[in-house]
Structure 1
Amino acid sequence: MTTTNVRPMSVKLDPDTRARLEQLAESRRRTPHWILREAVAQYVEREEKREAFRQDTLKAWEEYRTTGLHVTADEADAWLAQLTEGNDVEPPECHV
């Protein structure tokens, strides 16, 4: 079994937020600590996905600027409509 090095971190909350957190924790039969850990874990995961999407977008934009290859919105819409209808079709070919 691997030991993890867990270190405490403090968070300053205004009285209203703290009271809401405690009320939520009580209603969920969890501790405020558990609620905070869960919230931070979900936030970090969501923001990591958002950053990965942003990086993919920047990479795609740079590739477009370099090659000029693209599909039009109409071509993409037609392809997506086919997929929605359950047809397993290949995506449209990129062109300049």
Structure 2
Amino acid sequence: MAISVKIDDDLKSRVQRLAESRRRSSHWIMREAIEQYVEREEARASFRAEAQESWVAYRETGLHLTGQEVRDWLGSWGTEEETEVPTCHE
């Protein structure tokens, strides 16, 4: 599927300079930028959906971990005293 994107002359020049410095085509630079943008926005949407699901689950069950419990658990990573994920509680 071919898509045409109109960009102003300043942005076009910037893309061309970047492409030359990276020894890539302008097309490659623009495709890469679009791909990274779409991946980032998809990840952001997934994060929001997961956060919303977590909020709904918390409201329904009241189960949670405190911030300190999470910090303590993460702080144990990579140490001899590494602990398992704490159990959620009310």
The normalised TM-score by structure 1 is 0.84
Show the counterpart of 1:77. Answer: 71
Show the counterpart of 1:63. Answer: 57
C-alpha RMSD of the superposition: 1.4
The gaps in structure 2 that reach 5 residues or longer are: none
Q: CA deviation at 1:84?
A: 4.6
The normalised TM-score by structure 2 is 0.89
What does 1:1-96 correspond to in 2, within 5 Å?
Answer: 7-96=1-90
% identity of equivalent residues:
49
Return structure 1 stretches of 4+ with deviation > 6 angstroms: none
Per-residue CA deviations over 1:11-43 (Å, capped at 9, x if unaligned) read 111111110001111112211111111111111
Letter aligned with residue 17 of structure 1: L
The gaps in structure 1 that reach 5 residues or longer are: 1-6
Across the two proteins, how many residue pairs are aligned to each other?
90
Per-residue CA deviations over 1:50-86 (Å, capped at 9, x if unaligned) read 1111111110010001100001111111111111535
Contact 2:73 2:82 in 1 (8 A): no
Moved more, 76-85 or 7-16: 76-85
